[in-house]
């Protein structure tokens, strides 16, 4: 296996081992770590097609994490993808209405974040051991709803770590909030902020970039790391499930090995669709990467105009995990389409920070041919939930429905009938008010928690154990702070 090293998109670090990149999370110059060269698949698709999830995860991830021994990586994989998922398939593909829904919500927190955050604690611990780090690792994370709970679940009671999660107090669903505020674990801390997700994310980035503060932490035997999707240890595990989806379609004889398929991903922070792009770069026959946005359509505008502009109204929608105006992971794609020019990438990111927007060159625009940007309004999203349920009896959440609506629009505009996988990123049980309201107005007077029972009656499917009786669990975290006090809160905790 060819040794892969990592470098910063902004040029400040290079020749970094996978373990070091995972531990650091973000590069010292504020850039993101990317492979110095994209690994190419060392096996034929034929050889991979019959592997179960665990075996495939090991096989794909070993291409990126080349300083992990076989035993180390297999142990991480086996500890991550076990009975905490409610199906041995881990991420099944379900065909409805001619499209293939890749169900990424069978983990403990009912969202796709479990796919990577189940393994990240083990990758981090292994990396720390390899690098002889004996400091306590402090995981600092901002969440728009799902990352936080999945990270808390992954790191709770993991020795040698603490996890601090900031979330927008009024920017997540009631069920998402309850999932986080009832989290057990003597090393877990959950704080609501008066602001939106971008405020939380910016606050976290500032803490990472504060050299004085980090020096102080170091003196007290702490080191910061991140569980956000900017960490390469989060991104690499996500590459796996696109291969897995493809091989499931091959097994079901929906496509033949080697056929092209399209992928639709409901996207806020861009990491999930970037993983599909990485899978394509490795050798998976992906056709179009269809990037689906909600009313916060900063990515839609970017793909259609080449201009990224975050200075716009921030809209709280029924798909809150996508209510994001700064898509951190887009920097990795910008770096790629800039011909890996670190100066250009740095310049664009600085412009974004100072002016709130940037525009890519025509040459860069031409390199975006793999992508298609679409968006769906909240009305269209609700309409598609109802339509799919009435047609097939299959219930999707508000994020998956954004992707489904964008896919329908894409087909009607392009007439492209390529077989397509939709990344189904959360269980409808996480967004009961919006989903049940889409099905029938009669549900509007019920609480989120009452609607869990109503959804159970409607679908005849078991209530996932991750939220069963969640309204009866004690609230263990109730701290709220102003967005400018985040660093102070971290100091108090440590």
The 10s digit of each residue's pLDDT in 103-125 is 999 999 999 999 999 999 999 99
The 10s digit of each residue's pLDDT in 122-168 is 999 999 999 999 899 999 999 987 888 999 999 999 888 999 999 99
Q: H-helix or E-strand containing 136?
A: strand 136-142
26's tokens: 């973000």
Which residues are known catalytic residues? 113
The 10s digit of each residue's pLDDT in 310-360 is 999 999 999 988 989 999 999 999 999 999 999 999 999 999 999 999 999
In this prediction, residue 70 carries a pLDDT of 98
Q: In this model, does residue 209 exceed pLDDT 90? A: no
Report the C-alpha gap between 405 and 265 in whole angstroms: 11
Report the C-alpha gap between 466 and 469 in whole angstroms: 9
Cβ neighbours, 10 Å, residue 415 = 7
Report the C-alpha gap between 115 and 108 in whole angstroms: 10
In this prediction, residue 400 carries a pLDDT of 98
* Phi/psi at 437 (5° precision): -65, -35
How do beta strands 222-225 and 261-266 pair? unpaired
The 10s digit of each residue's pLDDT in 241-265 is 999 999 999 999 999 999 999 999 9
Domain ranges, ordered by start, for the chain: 93-109+233-464
Report the C-alpha gap between 230 and 232 in whole angstroms: 6
In this prediction, residue 241 carries a pLDDT of 98
pTM as predicted: 0.93
In this prediction, residue 451 carries a pLDDT of 95
CATH of segment(s) 93-109+233-464? 3.40.50.1100
Q: In this model, does residue 205 exceed pLDDT 90? A: no
In this prediction, residue 145 carries a pLDDT of 79
Q: Average of pLDDT values for 4-29?
A: 95
Confidence of residue 228 (pLDDT cuts 50, 70, 90): confident
Least confident of 146-150, 452-456, 490-494: 146-150
Confidence of residue 226 (pLDDT cuts 50, 70, 90): confident
User: Would you put residue 223 in left (φ > 0), alpha (ψ -120 to 50) or beta?
Assistant: beta
Buried b vs exposed e over 416-440: b needs ≥16 C-beta within 10 Å? eeebbbbbbbbbbbbbbbbbbbbbe
The 10s digit of each residue's pLDDT in 43-55 is 999 999 999 999 9
What percent of the chain lies above the pLDDT cut of 70?
A: 100
The 10s digit of each residue's pLDDT in 370-386 is 999 999 999 999 999 99
Report the C-alpha gap between 226 and 220 in whole angstroms: 19
Mean predicted lDDT score pLDDT of the chain: 95
């Amino acid at each position: 296996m060819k040794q892969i090293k990592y470098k910063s998109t902004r040029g400040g670090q290079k020749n970094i081992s996978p373990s070091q990149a995972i531990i650091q999370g973000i590069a010292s110059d504020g850039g993101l770590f990317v492979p110095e060269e994209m690994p190419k698949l060392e096996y034929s698709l034929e050889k991979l097609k019959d592997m179960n999830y665990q075996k495939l995860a090991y096989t794909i991830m070993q291409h990126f994490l080349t300083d992990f021994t076989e035993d180390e990586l297999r142990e991480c994989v086996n500890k991550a993808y076990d009975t905490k998922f409610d199906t041995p398939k881990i991420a099944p593909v379900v065909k409805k209405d001619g499209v293939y829904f890749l169900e990424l919500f069978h983990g403990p927190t009912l969202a796709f974040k479990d796919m990577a955050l189940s393994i990240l604690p083990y990758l981090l611990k292994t990396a720390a051991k390899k690098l002889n780090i004996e400091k306590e690792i402090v995981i600092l994370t901002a969440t728009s709803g799902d990352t936080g709970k999945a990270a808390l679940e992954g790191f709770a009671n993991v020795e040698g770590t603490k996890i601090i999660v900031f979330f927008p107090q009024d920017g997540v669903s009631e069920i998402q909030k309850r999932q986080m505020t009832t989290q057990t674990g003597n090393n877990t801390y959950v704080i609501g902020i008066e602001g939106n997700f971008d405020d939380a994310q910016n606050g976290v980035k500032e803490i990472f970039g504060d050299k004085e503060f980090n020096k102080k932490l170091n003196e007290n035997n702490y080191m910061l790391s991140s569980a956000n999707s900017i960490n390469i240890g989060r991104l690499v595990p996500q590459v796996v499930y696109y291969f897995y989806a493809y091989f499931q379609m091959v097994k079901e004889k929906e496509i033949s090995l080697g056929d092209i398929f399209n992928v639709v991903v409901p996207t806020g922070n861009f990491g999930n669709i970037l993983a599909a792009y990485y899978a394509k770069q490795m050798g998976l026959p992906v056709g179009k990467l269809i990037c689906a946005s909600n009313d916060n359509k900063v990515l839609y505008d970017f793909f259609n105009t080449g201009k990224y502009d975050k200075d716009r109204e921030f809209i709280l929608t029924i798909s809150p995990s996508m209510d994001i105006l700064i898509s951190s992971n887009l920097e990795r794609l910008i770096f790629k389409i800039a011909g890996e020019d670190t100066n250009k990438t740095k310049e664009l990111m600085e412009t974004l920070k100072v002016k709130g927007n940037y525009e890519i060159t025509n040459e860069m625009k031409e390199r975006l041919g793999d992508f298609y940007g679409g968006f769906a309004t909240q009305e269209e999203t609700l309409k598609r939930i109802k339509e799919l349920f009435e047609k097939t009896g299959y219930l999707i959440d508000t994020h998956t429905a954004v992707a489904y609506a964008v896919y329908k629009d894409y087909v009607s505009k392009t007439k492209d009938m390529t077989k397509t996988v939709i990344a189904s990123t959360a269980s409808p049980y996480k967004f009961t008010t919006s989903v049940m309201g889409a099905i029938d107005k009669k549900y509007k007077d019920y609480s989120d928690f009452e609607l869990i029972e109503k959804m159970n009656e409607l679908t005849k499917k078991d209530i996932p154990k991750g939220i069963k009786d969640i309204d009866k669990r004690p609230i263990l975290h109730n701290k709220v702070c102003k967005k400018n006090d985040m660093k102070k809160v971290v100091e108090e905790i440590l």
